[in-house]
Amino acid sequence: MIECTQVQAALSARLDGEPVGLDDDVIDAHVSGCQQCATFLERAALLNRSLSINSQPAAIPDLSDAILSTVEPEFRRQAASRAAWVMAARALLVVVGVLFVWFGVRTFAGSIGVEDPQTQALALDAAAVRMTLAFGALFAAWRPGAMGYLMPMYGALFAFSVGLRVRDVLLGTITVGEVTFIALVGVAAVALVVGWMANSGAVAIRQMWQTLSATPRG
């Protein structure tokens, strides 16, 4: 005679997927004729389903769309802002380049007919410098990637021009043409800095800072 405790233990094992130890026909025959074991089977099955549902991990929501909807507008805004600054710098370089061409042609035309060879040579050198600066400004406006390479030259020329002409400014012996030349060089240097920062300089500086501030692995 099989006892209820044996059948209930076998039912629990069958619900858990473990070895039963009794034939299924014997168990089913006993359950069909025993109300106590039938009630035990119902409660055990209900508890097993409840534990199975609660043990399932909660579904992780897909936040990719929400993240993209937040990041993409900000990325587009920053890209549009950088593009606007680059365009402004390029436009300013075109203006500066045209003015340098005009001053170069004017200086060259003024050297014609000068009787003093030394004065004429200085005028021709000044015209060549202005035409060279015009070419650099226009080339940077055409190829913004070159702004970072031309920026040190224009910056150094502006710094040395200002530093070496301080005495003339204080004495009032500097001419309007010389002031205009220095101002144009300074404007070109600022335009190159702004264009380079907006184009790629900010990223390059950030990467360099991260590299310098990184802690080496021991």
pLDDT at 98 over 90: yes
Using one digit for the tens of pLDDT, what is the confidence trace for 111-136? 787 777 888 888 889 899 999 999 99
Give the pLDDT band (50/70/90) at residue 212.
low
Q: What is the dihedral of CA 160, 163, 168, 172, to 10 degrees?
A: 120
Q: Who contacts 112 (Cβ-Cβ below 8 Å, separation ≥6)?
A: none
Provide the CA 214 distance to its chain's centre, in angstroms: 19
The predicted pLDDT at position 11 comes to 67
pLDDT at 97 over 90: yes
Asked if residue 171 lies in contact with residue 143, where contact means CB atoms within 8 angstroms, the answer is no
The total number of residues shown for the chain amounts to: 218
Using one digit for the tens of pLDDT, what is the confidence trace for 131-142? 999 999 999 999
Global pTM reads 0.62
* Residue 64 token pair: 């990719």
Q: What percent of the chain has pLDDT over 90?
A: 30
Backbone angles phi, psi at 209, to 5 degrees: -65, -40
Using one digit for the tens of pLDDT, what is the confidence trace for 180-193? 999 999 999 999 99
The predicted pLDDT at position 81 comes to 81
Asked if residue 20 lies in contact with residue 10, where contact means CB atoms within 8 angstroms, the answer is yes
